[in-house]
Structure 1
Amino acid sequence: MTTDWSQERILVLAPHPDDETLGCGGLMSKAKAAGAEVFVQFMTVGDTADQSPKGFSTAEERYAEIKKVADHFRWDDWHMALPGDEYHLRLDAVPRVDLTRIIEATSPLSVARLRPTTVIAPHRTSYNQDHQVTAEAVHTALRPSDRALRHHPRLVLAYEEAADQWRLEHAPSPNLIVELSEKEMGDKLLGMELYGSQSHRHPHTRSDLTLRSLAVLRGMQAGVALGEGFHVLRCLA
């Protein structure tokens, strides 16, 4: 499978700010360099207890980080669907139909309004409840139907994150590897560094070494130096 990224309009679904960079930062760099359009739909953000030196990050800090990352990757646009502590890490309390409607039709970056050619979302096997329900809502929003009535993205992928492997029954190995250059790998690492409240030293699932190690592993599996792994959910040739 060879994709001409220059012809793609890509919609990335991220439960929280940084998931898009962890999951497909290299692909976003590659696609933008080729001439693609890249849009990021965040689902939620709020004040967060974390493992940073001060022990927490505010929503305002996270928004400032998003703006830096958006400039770095040259996104065409981004949107936050459900901001606030009412939703952050509590998306599993939101009715599935409401999440699905946001992704399918009501968001400014919805599938119906944006009409992306490629959609990239988290994988269902993540341990994080926000990731799980986002993945399920995307699955529902992109259900098969008459293409004359509803937009069908040609390519639908699920990205992986290193922390997702912390499950007894985790996903099988990705069945699509996107080769990354050293520059694209560097863009991914810098994007994660710009999320200062979420970036950590090794050993941590969001450390530079973890991200590079996963890229080395996925690249090796495809016979190249570096790669990002994805699960193909739909591909219309």
Structure 2
Amino acid sequence: MTTDWSQERLLVYSPHPDDETLGCGGLMHKAKCAGAEVFVQFLTVGDTADQSPKGFSTAEERYTEIKKASEHFRWDDWHMALPGDTHHLRLDSVPRVDLTQLIERESPLSIARLKPSVVLVPHRTSYNQDHQAAAEAVHTALRPSNTRLRHHPRLVLAYEEAADQWRTEPVQSPNLIVELGEEDLAAKLHGMELYGSQSHEHPHTRSELTLRSLAVLRGMQAGVALGEGYHVLRYLA
């Protein structure tokens, strides 16, 4: 399977600011450099207790980080669907029908309005409840139906994060590896640096060494130097 990224319109679903960079920062850079359109739909953000020296990050800080990441990756647009503490880390309390309708047609970056050719979503095996809710809602929004009535993206991929491996049941290895150049990985690593409230020193799932090590591992599995792993949910040849 080969993809001419210059012809694609990518829509990335990111439960929180930084998930899109952790999961597909390399592909976003690779595709954008080839001439693709890249859009990011964030689902929620709020004040967050974390392991930073300060002990918390505010929604205002996270918005500043999004703007920096947007300029770095040259996104064509981005949107925050459900801002505020009511929904942040509580997406599993939002009825799936409401989240699905937002994704399918109500958001400014909805499937119906944007008509992406490629959709990237978090993997449903994540331990994080917001990631699980996002994955399931996007899956429902992209359900099979008559293509004359509803838009069907040609390629739907679930991206991985290092923390996804924290499961009680086995997690299957990605069945698609996107080859990255060193410049793509460098862009991903710098993108994560821009999320200063969320990046950490090693050992941590969001450290630079973790991201580089995962890229080396996935590349090795495909016989190349660097890669990003994905699970194919739909591929229309």
Match in the other structure for 2:107: 107
Match in the other structure for 1:19: 19
In structure 2, distance between residues paired with 1:68 and 1:152: 31
Mean alpha-carbon deviation: is it higher for 167-176 or for 216-225?
167-176
Per the alignment, do residues 170 and 72 of structure 1 end up closer, same or farther by CA in structure 2, a change over 3 Å counting? Answer: farther
In structure 1, distance between residues paired with 2:191 and 2:130: 22
Match in the other structure for 2:6: 6
State the TM-score, normalizing by the size of structure 1: 1.00
SS at match of 1:224: coil
In structure 2, distance between residues paired with 1:144 and 1:115: 15
In structure 2, distance between residues paired with 1:233 and 1:61: 34
In structure 1, distance between residues paired with 2:141 and 2:235: 16
1:47 aligns with 2:47: yes
Per-residue CA deviation, residues 43-62 of structure 1 (Å, 9 max, x unaligned), is: 00000001111000000000
Q: Within 5 Å, which residues of 2 pair with 1:161-200?
A: 161-200=161-200
Displacement after TM superposition at 1:170 (Å)? 4.1
Per-residue CA deviation, residues 5-39 of structure 1 (Å, 9 max, x unaligned), is: 00000000000000000000000000000000000
In structure 1, distance between residues paired with 2:85 and 2:186: 32
In structure 1, distance between residues paired with 2:17 and 2:97: 23
For the 8 Å contact 1:164–1:170, the answer to whether it is kept is no
Per-residue CA deviation, residues 46-103 of structure 1 (Å, 9 max, x unaligned), is: 0000111100000000000000000000000000000000000000000000000111
Q: Within 5 Å, which residues of 2 pair with 1:112-127?
A: 112-127=112-127
Displacement after TM superposition at 1:168 (Å)? 1.3
In structure 2, distance between residues paired with 1:93 and 1:84: 14
Match in the other structure for 1:142: 142
Match in the other structure for 1:63: 63
SS at match of 1:133: helix
Match in the other structure for 2:98: 98
Match in the other structure for 1:132: 132
Per-residue CA deviation, residues 129-184 of structure 1 (Å, 9 max, x unaligned), is: 00001000000000000000000000000000000100011430000000000000
SS at match of 1:228: strand
State the TM-score, normalizing by the size of structure 2: 1.00
Percent of aligned pairs with the same residue?
82
Q: Which runs of 4+ in 1 moved over 2 A?
A: none
For the 8 Å contact 1:92–1:129, the answer to whether it is kept is yes
In structure 1, distance between residues paired with 2:169 and 2:220: 24
1:38 aligns with 2:38: yes
Structure 1: state its 5+ residue gaps: none
Match in the other structure for 1:29: 29
For the 8 Å contact 1:50–1:57, the answer to whether it is kept is yes
In structure 2, distance between residues paired with 1:154 and 1:216: 28
For the 8 Å contact 1:8–1:117, the answer to whether it is kept is yes
In structure 1, distance between residues paired with 2:205 and 2:132: 18
Match in the other structure for 1:202: 202
SS at match of 1:81: strand
CA RMSD of aligned residues (A): 0.4
Aligned residues: 237
